Amino acid sequence: MSTFFSKLWGLRRNQQVILYTAAVAIGIVVAYGAIAFRELIDFTQILAFGFGGENVATQAQSAPWWRIMLAPVAGGLVVALMLRFILKDRRAMGIAETIEASALNNARMPFTQGLATATMSAVSLGAGASTGREGPIVHLGATLASWFGERLGLTPALSRTLLGCGVATAVAASFNAPIAGVFFAMEVVLGHYAIHAFAPIVMASVVGTIITRAHLGNYPAFIIPDYSFASGWDIPIILVLGVVCAFVSVGFLRACLMGRDLFARIHQVPAWLHPILGGLVLGIVALAFPEILGVGYEATDKALHGGFTLTLLLLLLVLKIAMTSLSLGAGFGGGVFSPALFIGAMTGGAIGLIAGWIVPATIASHGLFAIIGMGAVAGAVLGAPISTFLIVFELVGDYQLSIAIMVATMIASIITRQMGVLSFFHAQLESRGLKLRGGRARHIVQTMQVGDVITTNYRTIDESEAMDQVRIRMTLSPNGMLMVLGDDSQFLGLITPYSLSAAVDNEATLVSAADAMQQPSRVLFQDDKLQQGLGAMDVTQEEYLPVLDNAEDNQLVGVLLHRDALAAYNRVLLEEREEERGE
């Protein structure tokens, strides 16, 4: 018995036991964090507008006009102060920063700044910012999970798994969709579906779902009507809808980037005061169209039930794109998940109505196409077609409708990528110079400098050295080449067996090393990226290239060997694959 208990006690140091225990703890903590975040939004909304709940548009119609207009301004003031005095980067963080932490920072995220971002995002949404709440909840969940990983002293690989646990729980808590939460964490944040990470992420997602259902009820984010397809005409309309959703997604993504650039050009107002200016514009628009306030779930739900005319669907589509871009560009906190669902629902509803006029009485309700459009736009914008499809599937619970959503989502996602448009998260990262679309291995190759891989195991010779010295040093050269240097040790060229052979044929006219050297087909600089070096070698078909300090000084600092460059890349790939296999 004592042996059994001693073995049991010894498990406390087993990292896998720690991982699964931490996964359960993260599921609990993140679920309560998500509930607290939603309560803070509701509390702020009551202070700002005088009412709480999801039905913002309906209640706004009976509220004083001045309150509707000034609530986003007041929220913008609070956000401005937080940007100025609390958030050190003067911007809200979100899923993009979570992806960055997973790929580059060993799953480490700043805890205090994460909590401050969550608070600012809740204030933004409660004051009517036309953004989404899912992104901030995901970032909050990742921040809490990162805190656990850091305190437990886990390896980077296990810490990334815990990060996935926090993300999965956050998504599950937002949509009451535990399966989608798991796949979102693995598809978007981790970038792989390794078995060793799957189990703890599932545990965290299930635990978080149980807790949120116990407190908030077992209700989906949207109540979906019992729709069904009417005829074969529905199929081409679904295909057309997927194409239209692709173009709408591209327009939305570009509008978000334009909103950021627009405020960047407003130099008359300090950047941290931009939320006040954005809040004023938002408040004025909300006087006529309160549907654009906040996450917009009421308007999305109404579109799913076929409650809007074509004119209003198109107006809300354009206004939501504009107001979300304005809110994010001005500096309000929040994400794009909810706006993408809103925009997709309006797009699908509009296409359904237009199709109904063309082929009346032979197609399904336009509310059904609103559901399909919701999934298609969200999947393309987020760059996560699989997890987005699963979210909508868990909301709908209809197999036949889910197939249509999957088809439209894949069409929209493929066309969006073929148009060269990134997901919202990777567009944010690349605007800061971080290219993580190909995973950590590709990013390391894109950021690792040639100077980190070069060898100094080579022979040099002065340009004035006689030919007999050239022959002697060539026999001693480890790489079969000599680097020719001139005055002040400047690099002039190189001598290879081929150039030496040519020199021997004309020995009577050749006196020194300078006469036998050749110019390299390409030179590299030490701060060039490894990807550039590999590309140059592919083009020139050279096995080695000289590396200089810079173009002005022309000092030789080393040689890049093709085998060394490939070995460096392979090491990174092996490390990534070992993590995916749990080794």
Both 474 and 431 in one domain: the answer is no
Both 418 and 537 in one domain: the answer is no
CB atoms under 10 Å from CB of 151, counted, come to: 9
Handedness of CA 396, 398, 399, 405 (dihedral sign): negative
Write out the DSSP string of 346-362. Answer: HHHHHHHHHHHHHSTTS
Both 48 and 185 in one domain: the answer is yes
Structural domain containing residue 198: 11-216
d(CA 264, CA 534): 36
Let me know if residue 229 belongs to a domain.
no
Amino acid 46: pLDDT: 95
Both 151 and 275 in one domain: the answer is no
Let me know if residue 495 belongs to a domain.
yes
Amino acid of residue 113: Q
Q: Do residues 407 and 234 make contact, with C-beta atoms less than 8 angstroms apart?
A: no
**Which of 154, 187, 216 represents a domain boundary (last residue)?**
216
Both 411 and 486 in one domain: the answer is no
Let me know if residue 227 belongs to a domain.
no
Let me know if residue 409 belongs to a domain.
yes
Both 469 and 426 in one domain: the answer is no
Let me know if residue 226 belongs to a domain.
no
Both 488 and 387 in one domain: the answer is no
Amino acid 349: pLDDT: 93
Structure token digits, residue 266: 């407003």
- For the chain, the domain total comes to 3
Both 268 and 165 in one domain: the answer is no
**Which of 413, 435, 457 represents a domain boundary (last residue)?**
435
Ordered per-residue pLDDT tens for the chain, 583 residues: 455 445 434 445 567 778 888 999 999 999 999 999 999 999 999 999 999 888 899 999 889 999 999 999 999 999 999 988 888 777 788 888 888 888 777 788 999 999 999 999 999 999 999 999 989 999 999 999 999 888 888 878 888 889 999 999 999 988 888 888 898 888 888 877 777 788 899 999 999 999 999 998 877 667 777 777 767 778 889 999 999 999 999 999 999 988 888 887 877 777 778 899 999 999 999 999 999 999 999 999 999 888 899 999 999 999 999 999 999 999 999 999 999 999 999 999 999 999 888 877 666 678 889 999 999 999 999 888 888 888 877 777 666 788 888 999 999 999 998 888 778 888 888 877 777 665 666 666 666 788 888 888 888 888 888 877 877 887 777 777 888 888 777 888 888 777 777 766 665 566 777 877 888 888 888 888 887 787 788 777 777 888 888 877 788 888 888 788 777 777 766 666 665 555 5
d(CA 530, CA 543): 14
Both 113 and 207 in one domain: the answer is yes
CATH of the domain at 534: 3.10.580.10
d(CA 575, CA 183): 23
Query: Virtual CA dihedral for 537, 540, 542, 548, nearest 10 degrees?
Result: -70
Q: Do residues 79 and 275 make contact, with C-beta atoms less than 8 angstroms apart?
A: yes
Run of H or E residues at 492: strand 491-495
What number of CA atoms fall less than 13 Å from residue 395's CA on the CB side? 25
Amino acid of residue 266: I
CATH of the domain at 354: 1.10.3080.10
Contacts of 159 (CB under 8 A, 6+ apart): 106, 107, 108, 146, 149, 150
Both 137 and 277 in one domain: the answer is no
Let me know if residue 542 belongs to a domain.
yes
Both 88 and 139 in one domain: the answer is yes
Let me know if residue 3 belongs to a domain.
no
Both 53 and 202 in one domain: the answer is yes
Amino acid 196: pLDDT: 78
Q: What are phi and psi of 542, to 5 degrees?
A: -90, 150
**Which of 411, 435, 459 represents a domain boundary (last residue)?**
435
Let me know if residue 85 belongs to a domain.
yes
